Amino acid sequence: MNLWDKLSKKYDYDNLLVPEYKDLIIYIPTRSNPIGLIKTLSMMRETCDSISNFDVLVIVDEDQIKMYEEEKDRYIKVCLSGFVDENDYPDYGKWGHESHGNSLFDNVTWTTSKHDTEDWWDIFNIRNEFLKENDYYFDALWTDDFIGLSQSWDSNIVSKKHYFKDDLFTLHQSEDGGGQKRLLHVYENCYVKEKLTIDTKGYKLPQHDYIWKYSESLPVTTRKLSLMVNEVIKPNYLTSQFEMLIAAVIMILYKEYGHNRLVNGDFSWEQFLDEPKRNTVPSKNIGTDGFKNKKLSFDDWTRKKDYIVIRPIVEEIDRIIKEK
């Protein structure tokens, strides 16, 4: 049994792969940020109504198993000591004095990915295969470095189950200026340029750049829609652009077919923490399909090729909606 298997066996309770699934699975890929991960998990625990609403799948690179094991052990030891002085353990910040101990990880399962400095294919493939094998209703691709998650976020998300009977929709956060300075006006109009009157820079962006600039950065999407969009992602192609793919599908579906499938999720978050991480590669350099950076890859499949990669998905969704 390897080190990570021992860690999982020691602390985790095999409560994910069960016949009766919860309505939400949250994926958190993490690298070089074990303290940030614990802060994020603690924030989620402190602001949720119940862990019976969601599970978490943490994805750690194989070369950093020991780093995360040691921080997890440290957190549990601190919390189980009986008294936690946050001044003695400032690394955990606001949530360090909450004595969840071992229970913080009750609904968390851990897995590992191969570290790749050029592509996130292994991380994507883990998420995609897990989603195929486990019947959660919503899946969320979140990070280990965001703050400001609203109270009762979990109940509000799962309350949107079957918002549309065909189960083809995605949620956006609900705070104007929240979610890394996103605008509700843009969400409400599904990123369609012709319907927008607000731009923070005072001029109209090209249509594709509204997606680049304003797409929901921590998407919560129905399993059905996620699996459809995942079909277009290939090794070294679009592996770091899931949120843009979702937003582009939503935009075309509304602009060309008249279907609005972007739903207010009645939850919010504030922003990402701009903190340097060692041994990490910026997402702009990941999965670029031979382009110099992610933005050039994005420009190619959106503006230059007129969203050709996602048009079959949009056509299929339109067919399903009309049949219903």
DSSP string, 106-131: TTEEEEEE---SS--HHHHHHHHHHH
Residue 302 gets which letter from DSSP? Answer: I
pLDDT for 209: 95
Q: Are strands 54-61 and 108-113 parallel, antiparallel or unpaired?
A: parallel
* pLDDT at residue 173 in the model: 97
Q: Which is nearest to 16 in space by CA: 61, 54, 42?
A: 54
Spatial CB neighbours of 144, under 8 Å, sequence gap ≥ 6: 28, 29, 30, 33, 36, 37, 40
Query: What's the CATH architecture for 1-159?
Result: Alpha-Beta Complex (3.90)
What pLDDT score does 17 carry? 47
Cα 89 to Cα 141: distance, rounded to the nearest angstrom: 29
Q: Which residues of the chain have pLDDT under 50?
A: 1-19, 96-97
Q: Are 166 and 321 in contact (CB under 8 A)?
A: yes
- How many angstroms separate the CA atoms of 280 and 118, rounded? 11
In this prediction, residue 285 carries a pLDDT of 87
Q: So what's the pLDDT on residue 97?
A: 45
Give yes or no for a contact between 183 and 189, defined as CB atoms under 8 angstroms apart: no
- Res 274: pLDDT: 79
Domain boundaries, the chain: 1-159, 162-265+288-324
Give the predicted TM-score (pTM) of the model: 0.90
Token look-up 């582009």 returns 248
